[in-house]
């Protein structure tokens, strides 16, 4: 009442002065704020940012009641990266911070790049004193995820676990990001909406066109140190993903790893018990879209189908799972597990969205079986007679990683090494060595993307 009386009195006094009309507009704004505050105090409903209503608190306050803040874990990582171009020495030690969260069964989930090359890990619970030594259970560079545990049982006493929402969040769903960005020692909360769902190389290395997994773009602020932090659904208070990357060239864009990828990573570890995630299944092929009408006529000949489905297989890597199944260059890949592939190389997702066809492969664990429906020119492939006939074939594939000429993962199939012969130094070649040389040792990703670990003192 006092605030309203002062506002009304001040408005009457200033209305007769020059500029009083401008103040009237401000008075209206203040008046609406006062009325909203009165309704809030009385417990009445009012409109919120999302177009809905809230009875007794703001959106964020209402969500805080159910989001398990106690599940958050603060990471401090002491790491030393090997100098692969000089494998007899190590790089300068670094200290970085990150975030993780408890998923149950004495397992903490975070990003691979948070614990990468760690020599010591220290973790702290939210709102609890003391830090504990931790150790890595499993690390997956290709999916940028890691499982960590603590051997001291005291750490897990009364530690709440999060719930995982299996469904990928819908476009425009509101999400809440929690973490310890920019060296913060207390939780920081940001909020945004889901902007896009697409396929991305989560390693940010651009190794292979088939090394793609689901990723979700959001417009909530994700800063260095948020890496590994949970992203909650505002509706369900369940985790819908893990914050892992941002872009250095734009603002208001962050990326999270959704729950289906998390479940694939965790289930693979439960089956293999291997400390290094073995990799993703790949068909081991190169493809060309068939949007060009002339190219379609060349592939299909006189029997061009009325549908706009099918992509051209231009290369099949030797000893890949597709090669073992009998796929050949010149084949037109029409379906995977009876899901049609469009001429642009995408497949339906949730009915109203589309993803790269690789989604149908990399969403499955190694050893899974899939079927490929292909059309094959029996007159000698795409260069044959345009009046040739097409033969439909169904191939059965057991998914496996594609053999690579270069070792690709440090600690799994690549170990640094060197030999001196006749005064010349020879290094063991591998993808990690090439990545380090290309990035200049900065660990930068491709296309402006970057992981978001916070370096102490950087």
For residues 204 and 116, what is the distance between their CA atoms, to the nearest angstrom? 14
Task: Indicate if 173 belongs to the active site.
Answer: no
* φ, ψ for residue 299, nearest 5 deg: -75, -45
Task: Indicate if 227 belongs to the active site.
Answer: yes
Q: Which of 144, 201, 331, 373 is catalytic?
A: 144
Task: Indicate if 201 belongs to the active site.
Answer: no
For residues 186 and 181, what is the distance between their CA atoms, to the nearest angstrom? 9
- What is the distance, to the nearest Å, from the Cα of residue 224 to the centroid of all Cα atoms in its chain? 15
**Which residues lie below 8 Å from residue 388, measured CB to CB, with a gap of 6+?**
301, 377, 378, 379, 380
CA within 13 Å, CB half, 362? 27
For residues 358 and 253, what is the distance between their CA atoms, to the nearest angstrom? 24
Q: Which of 63, 227, 233, 342 is catalytic?
A: 227
Residue 180, judged by CB atoms within 10 A of its CB (0-12, 13-18, 19+), counts as buried
- What is the distance, to the nearest Å, from the Cα of residue 243 to the centroid of all Cα atoms in its chain? 7
Q: Which of 74, 113, 126, 317 is catalytic?
A: 113
For residues 289 and 292, what is the distance between their CA atoms, to the nearest angstrom? 8
**Active-site amino acid positions:** 113, 144, 227
């Amino acid at each position: 009442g006092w605030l309203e009386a002062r506002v009304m009195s001040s408005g009457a006094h200033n209305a007769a002065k020059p500029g009083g009309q401008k103040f009237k507009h401000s008075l209206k704004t203040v008046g609406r704020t006062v009325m909203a505050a009165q309704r809030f105090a009385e417990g009445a409903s009012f409109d919120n940012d999302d177009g809905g209503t809230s009875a007794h608190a703001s959106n964020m306050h209402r969500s805080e009641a159910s989001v398990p803040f106690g599940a958050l874990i603060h990471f401090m990582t002491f790491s030393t990266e090997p100098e692969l171009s000089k494998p007899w020495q190590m790089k300068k030690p670094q200290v970085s911070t990150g975030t993780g969260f408890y998923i149950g069964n004495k397992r903490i989930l975070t990003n691979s790049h948070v614990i990468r090359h760690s020599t010591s890990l220290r973790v702290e619970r939210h709102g609890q004193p003391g830090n504990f030594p931790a150790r890595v259970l499993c690390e997956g560079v290709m999916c940028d995820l890691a499982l960590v545990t603590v051997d001291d049982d005291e750490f897990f006493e009364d530690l709440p676990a999060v719930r995982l929402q299996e469904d990928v969040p819908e476009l425009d769903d509101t999400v809440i990001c929690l973490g310890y960005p920019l060296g913060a020692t207390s939780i920081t909360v940001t909020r945004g909406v889901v902007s896009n769902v697409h396929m991305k190389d989560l390693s940010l290395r651009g190794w292979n066109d088939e090394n793609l997994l689901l990723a979700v773009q959001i417009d909530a602020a994700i800063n260095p140190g948020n890496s590994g932090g949970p992203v909650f659904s505002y509706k369900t208070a369940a985790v819908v993903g893990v914050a892992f990357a941002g872009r250095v060239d734009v603002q208001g864009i962050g990326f999270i790893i959704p729950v289906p990828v998390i479940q694939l990573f965790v289930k693979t570890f439960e089956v293999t018990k291997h400390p290094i995630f073995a990799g993703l299944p790949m068909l081991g092929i190169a493809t060309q879209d068939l949007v060009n009408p002339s190219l379609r006529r060349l592939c299909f000949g006189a029997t061009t189908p009325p549908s706009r489905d099918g992509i051209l297989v231009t290369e099949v890597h030797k000893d890949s799972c597709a090669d073992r199944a009998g796929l050949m260059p010149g084949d037109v890949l029409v379906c995977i597990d009876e899901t049609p592939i469009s001429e642009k190389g995408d497949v339906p997702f949730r009915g109203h969205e589309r993803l790269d066809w690789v989604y149908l492969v990399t969403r499955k664990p190694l050893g899974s079986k899939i079927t490929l429906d292909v059309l094959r020119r029996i007159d000698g492939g795409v260069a044959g007679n345009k009046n040739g006939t097409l033969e439909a074939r169904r191939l059965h594939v057991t998914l496996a990683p594609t053999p690579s000429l270069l070792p690709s993962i440090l600690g799994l199939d690549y170990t640094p090494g060197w030999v001196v012969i006749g005064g010349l130094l020879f290094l063991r070649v591998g993808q990690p060595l090439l990545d380090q040389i290309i990035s200049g040792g900065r660990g930068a990703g491709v296309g402006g993307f970057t992981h978001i670990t916070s370096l102490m003192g950087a």
